[in-house]
Amino acid sequence: EVVLTQSPGTLSLSPGERATLSCRASRSVGSSYLAWYQQKPGQAPRLLMYGASSRATGIPDRFSGSGSGTDFTLTISSLEPEDFAVYYCQQYGGSSMYTFGQGTKLEIK
């Protein structure tokens, strides 16, 4: 099983700042198989990025994803008030098995 480790656990920033979230895999993950989600309190996760760098439908272009192998990054170029939430990475490991990272909480500074 591939273990995903996200860092930092909590990120405190102000609106307008740039956010960089990291997701590290215990072994190499194909870029096609890496996704990011945003979860706000009391809501279900929402797909943000798939294939490591493709934005899901309706996701603004201030969100971008990059990375390959074991290191992946989600970047929010200029934070809006609605971006403060918990972010999860997720990978598909073959054999129809999915795992998630433990999440990064993005909070207002």
Contact flag: residue 53 with another protein (CB under 8 A)? no
28 binds another protein, rule: CB under 8 A: no
Member of 2, 59, 92, 105 binding another protein (CB under 8 A):
92
Minimum Å gap between C-beta 43 and another protein is 7
Give the interface segment with another protein, choosing from 8-16, 17-25, 47-55, 72-80 (CB under 8 A): 47-55
Identify which of residues 84 and 88 has a Cβ nearer to another protein in the complex: 88
Report the alpha-carbon distance of residue 101 to residue 58 in Å, rounded: 23
The strand ranges marked E within the chain are 4-7, 10-13, 19-29, 34-39, 46-50, 54-55, 63-76, 86-92, 98-100, 104-108
Q: Which amino acid is at 15?
A: P
Binding status of residue 102 toward another protein by CB under 8 A: yes
Distance between CA 23 and CA 54 in Å, rounded?
Answer: 16
77 binds another protein (CB under 8 A): no
CA distance 55 to 63: 8
Residues lying near another protein in the complex (CB under 8 A) are found at 32-33, 35, 37, 43-47, 50-51, 56, 88, 90, 92, 95-103
